[in-house]
Structure 1
Amino acid sequence: MGYECRSSARNWRRMRGLVEFLMGIWPINWLITVIWRYTPFPRGFRSRIIRTANDRFLVGVMVVILDENGRLFLARNTYDPRYSWSLPGGWMGRNEQPDECIRREIYEETGYELDVDCLLATRTHPRLPSVDIIYRGRIAGGTFRASAEIAEVGFFELDELPDGLMPVHQQLLSLLEIDRMINQNQTSDPDHGDQGS
């Protein structure tokens, strides 16, 4: 046993010398990659290292809701008097999926239940280290109740939006218009019509 310890200590000194030598001639990123690839880390340890070592950013989730008349659902927040109207949404929590997040946010902030239809778009924020995920959805049930963040909600014609709509959300309306045109083309296309009759 004593021999193994001496041998391990000698091997460790050799390894440390090799590491110091390599660090002198190769960039540290290369060394980290080699260690990462060939070291048997305990279960879950790699993901903790990734979370700690990588830059942090936020993931925001929003939803575009249209009623049967094509009017846009907006929420008036309580915290920004300049830009009080916005698409409903919020920040994703740890270990939360984006579609779960938007359902939770809508329910917590408005009392409505949400059906998520599809992913509409993703975008990066111009000033924050964040990514926004934008879904298309529809209200599936519930009744409105004001919350600490949302004072009121409403459906608005696209050409009669309220004053105080967040500028970044105004930019998303062009995506909404494109999405509506695509959907209109699909429903009017005879190849996509009812084939069961």
Structure 2
Amino acid sequence: MLLYMSNSAHDERSTPVHSVSVAGAVVREDGRVLAIRRADNGTWEPPGGVLEMAEAPEDGVRREVFEETGLHVEVAELTGVYKNVTRGVVALVFRCKPSGGEERTSDESTAVAWLTPEEVTERMSEVYAIRLRDALNGDGPHVRTHDGHRMIPAR
């Protein structure tokens, strides 16, 4: 669902409102990446969620990763910006490294795992797997668009 905000200069509802989310591409020294199996739909994804209004993106990544996995992370660099054109969600993905904590599940996750790049491709949908592959590549940041299921090629 795409939400619209009334523009004070116009009576028409023409300005789309986007949600901003953040995710951590948490990479261990052995090259495995952190993933969660979401409690609400059972899919595997990088840990992340909606950025709070007064929160810096890096703080949001640290908070979301800890809430969903019990792990603390050091945030390194932005590796990609991914827009879901169907839902109006813009996701900022940051490469991170683990810095402590104890792995655990949460109300939002039913499993926490360290996946190989091959396992990422096998377990995750294209729109989430590419976020981790981009972070592992180190040649970003990438800007990509998708419809919630498939990537939309750049024009």
Matched, 1:132 2:91: yes
Per-residue deviation, 1:164: 4.1
* Greater helix content: 1
CA-to-partner distance for each residue in 1:34-59, whole Å, 9 max, x for gaps? xxxxxxxxxxxxxxxxxxx9532100
Q: 1:174 to 1:126 in 2, by over 3 A?
A: farther
TM-score by length of 1: 0.59
1:73 aligns with one of 30, 34, 41:
34
State how 1:25-174 maps to structure 2 within 5 Å. 32=9, 54-81=15-42, 84-161=43-120, 163-174=122-133
Aligned residues of 1:85 and 1:162 also touching (Cα < 8 A): no
How far 1:177 moved relative to its partner?
4.5
Shift of 1:178: 2.9
CA RMSD of aligned residues (A): 2.6
How far 1:62 sits from its partner (Å)? Answer: 0.8
Query: Radius of gyration: which is bigger?
Result: 1
Residue 120 of structure 2 contacts residue 129 of structure 2 at CA under 8 Å; is this kept in 1? no
Structure having greater relative contact order (Cα 8 Å, sep ≥ 6): 2
- Paired positions, count: 131
- Superposition deviation, residue 97 in structure 1: 1.2
* Distance of 1:111 and 1:174 partners within structure 2: 23
- Please, which runs of 5 or more residues in structure 2 have no aligned partner? 1-6, 141-155
Distance 1:162 1:55, change over 3 A: closer
Residue 126 of structure 1 and its aligned partner are, at CA, apart by 3.3
TM-score (norm 2): 0.73
Give the match's secondary structure for 2:120.
Answer: coil
Q: Determine the structure 2 residue equivalent to 1:192.
A: none
Gap runs ≥5 in structure 1? 1-28, 33-52, 182-197
